[in-house]
Amino acid sequence: MPHMAMHGLVLSLVLILLAGGAEAFRICAFNAQRLAQPKVAKKSVMDTLVQILARCDITVLQEVVDSSQKTVSLLLQELNRFEGSRSYSFLNSSLLGRSTYKEKYVYIYRSDKTQVLSSYQYNDTDDVFAREPFVAQFTLPSKILPNVVLVPLHTTPKDVEKELNALYDVFLDVSQRWQNEDVILLGDFNADCASLTKKRLNSLLLRTKAGFHWVISDGEDTTVRASTNCTYDRIVMHGQGCQTLLKAAAPFNFPRSFQLTEEEALRISDHYPVEVELSQAAQGIQPFMLGHSAAAVTFSISAVLAPFRWPLT
Ligand SMILES: *[C@@H]1O[C@H](CO)[C@@H](O)[C@H](O)[C@H]1NC(C)=O
Ligand SMILES: *[C@@H]1O[C@H](CO)[C@@H](O)[C@H](O)[C@H]1NC(C)=O
Ligand SMILES: *[C@@H]1O[C@H](CO)[C@@H](O)[C@H](O)[C@H]1NC(C)=O
């Protein structure tokens, strides 16, 4: 029956559109372990890094130890070649650290989907942090949450408790400055195993104050080595908008996904990335009814998809 066939076609088209429209926005944090030029010069390492970054709309890279801009440029070049239809850009902090050993935070983001609204280096007057957060505010393709603040931190293992409590001050500073309660704190917090006992973890301000959601749960392994099982890398979310859009969060076990041996995986990093997916669908898309005319179905789908439209320029 031509009419039914047509109806079926429209419906599957609509379902594809719906799935595409509800595509999650993924924010990731990755301690890429001493990321510098010799590392990305190895093709197999570069290829895996590119695949890891291509999963995410924004990645906060940590432990970028390159004083030049070359490592990030090379990464972006390969990433933009790999995903020809997308365009990735970056935003980096300066090199941070108390000694000659320094690292920077680098945001790699899809500039066709998100934009940097503002950023600043947290003014760490009491020198609490080894690498004070380089805070940034990004736009999101969502009407519920048009923008979100990211606060990255890579703690130094000997000061985990002190730094994580000071991270609460950074939250206060940024949420006041930008009048934005929707804040995602993320990175290698070293918040487990020998660096932080369960008791101290549970007494952190970010645990005892209301409104913070640790979406990478205790017990999730974020380390590559089979001999370790620690939840070092974390994502903590604050704000109603974030909560509404939260769809899923997990470490990304890249050795398993890319079928790498432990030895091969350790050439990339000893950490897994951690990822959070934000999706309009998380707050429940209106189910549409079968039996509508094609025009009506298409119309209702456009209405559902409208919030995903990207307000470019
Ligand atoms: C980004 O890195 C470059 C090269 O290290 C540096 O010149 C620049 O100041 C950095 N950006 C920020 C915002 O610190
Ligand atoms: C950081 O804070 C200190 C003390 O409040 C102030 O003297 C200094 O000018 C600030 N630096 C920046 C870059 O804002
Ligand atoms: C890590 O330990 C937790 C318990 O704390 C356990 O549930 C989990 O399965 C372990 N993961 C691995 C990969 O061994």
Ligand 1 atom closest to residue 67's alpha carbon, by position in its atom list? 5
Cβ–ligand 2 distance for 100 under 6 Å, the answer no
Amino acid at 65: V
Ligand 1 surroundings by CB, under 6 angstroms? 67, 69, 92-94
Which residues form the pocket of ligand 3, taking CB atoms under 6 Å from any ligand atom?
219, 221, 229
**Separation of alpha carbons 102 and 87, rounded Å:** 29
Cα–Cα distance measured from residue 283 to residue 261, given in angstroms and rounded to the nearest whole number? 39
* Structure confidence by residue, pLDDT tens digits, 158-179: 999 999 999 999 999 999 999 9
The catalytically annotated residue of 78, 132, 154, 220 is: 154
User: How many CB atoms are located within 10 Å of the residue 164 CB?
Assistant: 24
State which ligand 2 atom lies nearest to the alpha carbon of 123. 1
- The 10 Å Cβ neighbour count of residue 68 is 9
The residue contributing the CA closest to ligand 2 atom 14 is 123
The predicted structure's pLDDT at residue 179: 97
Please tell me the predicted confidence (pLDDT) of residue 85. Answer: 87
CA of 220 to the centre of ligand 3 (A): 6
Atom of ligand 2 nearest to the CA of 121: 13
Give the other-Cβ count within 10 Å of 257's Cβ.
12
Angle at 44 between CA 189 and CA 88, to 5 degrees: 65
The CA 142 to ligand 1 mean position distance, Å, reads 30
User: Alpha-carbon distance 185 to 134, whole Å?
Assistant: 11
Of 63, 78, 103, 163, the catalytic one is 103
Q: Could you say which ligand is closest to the alpha carbon of residue 220?
A: 3
What global pTM score does this model have? 0.85
User: 241, exposed or middle or buried, with CB in 10 Å at 0-12, 13-18, 19+?
Assistant: buried
Distance 154 CA to ligand 1 centre (A): 18
Each residue's pLDDT tens digit, 25-76? 999 999 999 999 999 999 999 999 999 999 999 999 999 999 888 999 999 9
CB 190 within 8 A of CB 155: yes
Cβ of 125 closer than 6 Å to ligand 2, yes or no, is yes
CA of 231 to the centre of ligand 3 (A): 10
DSSP 271: B
Rg (CA), the chain: 21
Alpha carbons 93 and 128: distance in angstroms, whole number: 18
Q: What is the mean pLDDT of each run of 10 residues along the chain (313 residues)?
A: 55 47 86 96 97 98 93 96 92 97 98 97 98 98 94 97 98 98 98 95 97 97 98 98 96 98 98 96 47 37 40 31
Closest CA to 201 of 239, 250, 236, 237: 236
The pLDDT value recorded for residue 12 is 52
Told to judge if 154 belongs to the known catalytic residues of this protein, a careful annotator would answer: yes
Give the span between the Cα atoms of 126 and 152, in whole angstroms: 19
Q: Which ligand is nearest to the CA of 64?
A: 1
For residue 255, give the ligand nearest its CA.
3
Distance CA 92, CA 119 (A): 10
**Ligand closest to the CA atom of residue 226:** 3
Domains defined along the chain, listed by start: 24-282 (3.60.10.10)
Looking up tokens 């048009």 gives: 146
Helix axes 70-82, 43-54, angle to 10 degrees: 70
CA 249 / ligand 1 centre spacing (Å): 30
Pocket probe mutation, ligand 1, options 94, 103, 120, 132, max atoms within 8 Å of Cβ? 94
103: annotated active-site residue: yes
> If you write DSSP's letter for every residue of 17-44 in order, what string do you get?
HHHHHTPPEEEEEEEEEEE-HHHHTSHH
